[in-house]
Amino acid sequence: MRMMKLFAAAAVFVLPAIAFADDRADMAKVDKVYADMFRDAKGEWAKRIELDETQKACSEYRNNLPQAEFEKVLKREKANVVMPADGKVMGDWKSGEKIAQSGFGLRFNDKPGTISGGNCYACHQVSKTELSFGTLGPSLLEYGKIRKFDPEEAKRAYAQIYNSNAVQPCSTMPRFGHNKVLDEQQIKDLVALLFDPESPVNK
């Protein structure tokens, strides 16, 4: 298990040298490297790393899509967003805070049935009182306040959490809903964390 983690970490450094020698990736090499790295007896890891159309396009163009390809990806990913049937995108911000803090789910050592979290703090500043947060993504402080708590902006946030590529193609943010990492209620709770005036995000 430990060796698998080391191999996965090494891929971050190995793949660019192999596949990205030119401006565009050699997708045949990318596919072969991944296939060789993630072989397992049941084939579960092979399924996890199979690229969809959008991932292939973003890899091929190194996240710098030509305009025509950009529009194609945006249209396809927007069509993949499933908005709540009841039309409500906000849940409970206190539950959203727990989801944002939780890094459980989809890890090597998680037990079956583990409820996934969003692990939002790994990439974003979410609260003024939090001292440990990542900087891969922008700060989310006063997210709802800056947007005047606009309901349309809340819907946009729901779509972005559900499928970040539907808002910004080739985004590095996980597609939480699209990939079934988080369910509808969890995404609603995260939107509430961003837009509820009483949330620590907006204090």
- Regarding whether 98 and 40 lie in a shared domain, the answer is no
Q: How many domains would you assign to the chain?
A: 2
86 located within any domain: no
> Dihedral (C-alpha) 165, 170, 173, 174: value to the nearest 10 degrees?
70
**Same domain for 35 and 61:** yes
Do 108 and 73 sit in the same domain of this protein? no
Residue for token pair 């983690």 = 5
| CB neighbours of residue 30 within 10 Å | 19
- The residue segments making up the domain with residue 31 are 2-79
Per-residue pLDDT for the chain (203 aa), expressed as one digit of tens each? 444 443 444 444 444 444 555 567 787 887 777 777 766 656 666 666 778 999 999 999 999 999 999 999 999 999 999 999 999 999 999 999 999 999 998 777 888 888 999 999 999 999 999 888 999 999 999 999 999 999 999 999 999 999 999 999 999 999 999 999 999 999 999 999 999 999 999 99
Q: Quick one: angle between helices 53-60 and 67-79, nearest 10?
A: 160
Query: Quick one: tokens of 68?
Result: 């025509």
Q: What is the CATH number of the domain that holds 116?
A: 1.10.760.10
The answer to whether residues 108 and 143 belong to one domain is yes
**In this structure, is residue 168 part of a structural domain?**
yes
Q: Is residue 191 part of a domain?
A: yes
Specify the pTM.
0.79
**103 and 18 part of one domain:** no
